[in-house]
Structure formats: C-alpha cells, structure tokens
Amino acid sequence: MLNAKFLFGLALFIPLFGLAMPADAQKRDVNAIRAECFRQANAAAASAGVGAAAGNTADRNAMGYSAYRACAQKNGIRP
C-alpha cells in the first residue's frame, strides 16, 4: 500500500504540472483553426482556374482537399 503522504503530494503535484504547460498546448480554438483551413482550401480551389468543364471540377476538388489536409496536419487537428 502506498504511503498516504506520497499520494497527497502526488495529488497536489499533478494540477501544478498542468499549469506549467504553455497556454497553446492546454486549449486551442479548433473551430477557428478549421475555419482558417477551409478558407485556405477555398482559396486553393479558386486558384485552380475558372471553367465549367468537368475536368476542372475534379482538379479544384483535389486541390482544395489537399490544401485542407495540409493545413489540418500542420495545426495538429483531424481533417
């Protein structure tokens, strides 16, 4: 059985360890990150070119999806 003083000290230490972490690592605004990634994806899709041909639609979708995934991975969120 563990010593009661050790358990009490451990119970006090764990919250202090959480306070020592940087604020960015504690909580991020995931919705804002996703919105920025969608904005970047839309910009990448728009840069693919304007046209009504069927081939351009697939290219725009692929570019937008790639840009969104790259942004999500860079920011450490699930795409």
Answer whether 0.75 is exceeded by the pTM. Answer: no
> Tokens 């604020």 sit at which residue?
23
Cα 22 from chain centre: 17
Q: Which tens digits make up the pLDDT trace of 28-67?
A: 789 999 999 999 999 988 887 665 555 678 888 889 999 9
> Tokens 């059985």 sit at which residue?
1
Mean pLDDT, residues 11-21 taken together: 63
Cβ-based neighbours of 28, under 8 Å, separated by 6 or more: 75
Phi-psi region of 21 (alpha: psi -120 to 50; beta: other; left: phi over 0): beta
